[in-house]
Structure 1
């Protein structure tokens, strides 16, 4: 018995000492290391903002020289190379700013609180795994949406099942919006419109959830389901293409590991004439579909409510019409901007190649 008590006392003494060491080490890590991290990152952010202002000033000076014109081709070429490097530096500074301890925006604050940090602390593999989980979640949910909408459109006519489906869509878009805000502050290439698109989609589905089973709801239901089916099929096609393109772009250094394989019409990146011919018609048809849904709702509510027996027009008719119209316009504008930028880049590359070919010809003549 005495030996056992002696052993207990010895073990207790060692455990108490080790416990104090662990607690002391943890307190030091929390109070000192994280405080140092906060002040260091604040300092880096200030320096990054100052550097961006200087770089933008350099770009403005270079552009003023380009506008003035010069016969010195070597000088122009040198300035263009500097301008490209400066723009690359600015993008790097934007990534650094995103990866500091930000909250993830108002949307994340609304659900996780103002003091939460949306930056994924740890090595890069943690961020990369979070991005992969996001892509997998979005792709799987989009694929599953296809048979769901087919069943509801052709075989199931139940308001209760419709409600479950709409709750599923609310969960889907809400989860996407939260994860996209977190990805954005961790250096991802997600555009602001993409996230706003999902905010609007949440509101659209909520209006469907609150819509009573009236004649207007029953008339609009097949249009909504048919659009959801079409949009899911197009998003799957776009995801497949974008994933392949992202793999290639990451391999050649044009994209970073946190860039995501986009599947939204507003985010399409056309890299070849084949993709232009194949993808864009589907994308624009989807946007026309959105406009048509908005037109039908406004037509029923404003011009022909009598065709529904003179019943009161629910507010959901106008809300859904307006939301579909905003989504269509936003998608069209953003897609057009992406295409215009692509055309300008191709044109600029051709001009640069022509200028280099001309300079080499002149050197041969000399």
Structure 2
């Protein structure tokens, strides 16, 4: 029995020696990897600096006159910028100001592609789950007047939007193309939820409470439907190579949402109008005797959210209609070209047939 234990210990020692060798190799390659990463980052910085100098020179040359070479150079510069962006996604990036304040200088870059996708999917699941929880809690608060339940729900909103801003900042570092307004929207929503949390349980809150809960029930339902719809569209577009793999669902309207969209846009605008109505109702409440500073501030914030969401959504629609017109024109021109081509092919075949009959006609013997 002792001999067997000693033999197993010797095997374990041999395995540990191999572990030490592998660990030494790992540390050496890790140092080499870090050094190469720094070189690549320096190369990218150098490339962008030189591109900036060249772009400035091209602008000065453009004033002197048009030249086809200038247009080619501009096209090459745009291509190079896109290439640099793709390379940059494979390298660690520094945190933005917000992440530096929240997390410090911790490196949140995810270099493995599968890990990036997994983190993005976790972000999507997080939003879906919290939307469902939000519907249930808002409905309970609408039916039952219980102050601890109210505060629990509003605290959930604060935590949700705060967490969302952190996760989106991490996604941004790792290549997500989320637009600036939707990130700002979540920052403003965090502040608004924080103000709601410290709003005293007074007469003005009692008058606004049911309206706010009804608003959140509606918004949570729309978000749930929206996330389910957008997620399916994104997966299809990514499979076709038409969208970036780190693109995420958003809480508003975006260009790729036209694919199969038939019902969602009116619901979004109803939600935006609901935000405007909240701003108006709070503005009216701000003139009551028992009002506090929370009421006019929240009125202004709901108004800002309404304006930002509406303008951002409306700004996308004309460009998409323009793209649809271009697509129809392209299809029509392709069909017309195809018809012309078929006519030309028929004429050529007829000519060949005639020439063949003339030159290949059998002679009388």
Bucket of the pairwise TM-score, normalised by the shorter protein? 0.7 to 0.9
Separation in structure 1 between the aligned mates of residue 40 and residue 295 of structure 2, nearest angstrom: 52
Say if 2:282 is the partner of 1:282: no
Task: Kindly state the Cα deviation for residue 147 of structure 1 after the two structures are TM-superposed.
Answer: 1.3
- The 1:50/1:352 distance shift into structure 2, 3 A limit, reads farther
- The 1:335/1:49 distance shift into structure 2, 3 A limit, reads farther
Say if 2:28 is the partner of 1:28: yes
Contact 1:265–1:335 at 8 Å: present in 2 too?
Answer: yes
Residue by residue over 1:178-197, the C-alpha shift from the partner in whole angstroms, topping out at 9 and shown as x without a partner, is: 11111122222311111111
- Paired residues in the alignment total 337
Aligned to 1:126: 115
Equivalent residue for 1:246, pick from 229, 234, 246 = 234
Residue by residue over 1:2-22, the C-alpha shift from the partner in whole angstroms, topping out at 9 and shown as x without a partner, is: x99x99998999799668646
- The 1:22/1:356 distance shift into structure 2, 3 A limit, reads closer
Task: Kindly state the Cα deviation for residue 32 of structure 1 after the two structures are TM-superposed.
Answer: 3.4
Contact 2:233–2:257 at 8 Å: present in 1 too?
Answer: no
Aligned to 2:85: 94
Separation in structure 2 between the aligned mates of residue 57 and residue 127 of structure 1, nearest angstrom: 39
Residue by residue over 1:260-283, the C-alpha shift from the partner in whole angstroms, topping out at 9 and shown as x without a partner, is: 2x14124463325x62x4111111
Aligned to 1:347: 325
Task: Kindly state the Cα deviation for residue 93 of structure 1 after the two structures are TM-superposed.
Answer: 3.8
What are the within-5 Å matches in structure 2 for residues 179-328 of structure 1?
179-260=167-248, 262-267=249-254, 269-272=256-259, 275=261, 277-301=262-286, 304-305=287-288, 310-311=289-290, 313-328=291-306
In the superposition, the TM-score normalised over structure 1's length comes to 0.77
In the superposition, the TM-score normalised over structure 2's length comes to 0.78
Query: Unpaired runs of 5+ in structure 2?
Result: 348-365
Separation in structure 2 between the aligned mates of residue 190 and residue 28 of structure 1, nearest angstrom: 37
- The 1:298/1:253 distance shift into structure 2, 3 A limit, reads same
Residue by residue over 1:106-141, the C-alpha shift from the partner in whole angstroms, topping out at 9 and shown as x without a partner, is: 22111110x22221033x111111111111111111
Separation in structure 2 between the aligned mates of residue 30 and residue 102 of structure 1, nearest angstrom: 17
RMSD: 4.0
Separation in structure 2 between the aligned mates of residue 233 and residue 58 of structure 1, nearest angstrom: 52
- The 1:120/1:55 distance shift into structure 2, 3 A limit, reads farther
Contact 2:182–2:250 at 8 Å: present in 1 too?
Answer: no
Aligned to 2:156: 168
Separation in structure 2 between the aligned mates of residue 234 and residue 357 of structure 1, nearest angstrom: 40
What are the within-5 Å matches in structure 2 for residues 51-200 of structure 1?
90-91=81-82, 93-113=84-104, 115-122=105-112, 124-154=113-143, 156-200=144-188
Task: Kindly state the Cα deviation for residue 292 of structure 1 after the two structures are TM-superposed.
Answer: 0.8
Higher Cα Rg: structure 1 or 2? Answer: 2
Task: Kindly state the Cα deviation for residue 324 of structure 1 after the two structures are TM-superposed.
Answer: 0.8
Aligned to 1:72: none
Residue by residue over 1:330-353, the C-alpha shift from the partner in whole angstroms, topping out at 9 and shown as x without a partner, is: 111111122122112122333444
Does the residue aligned with 1:265 lie in a helix, a strand or coil? Answer: coil
- The 1:44/1:229 distance shift into structure 2, 3 A limit, reads same
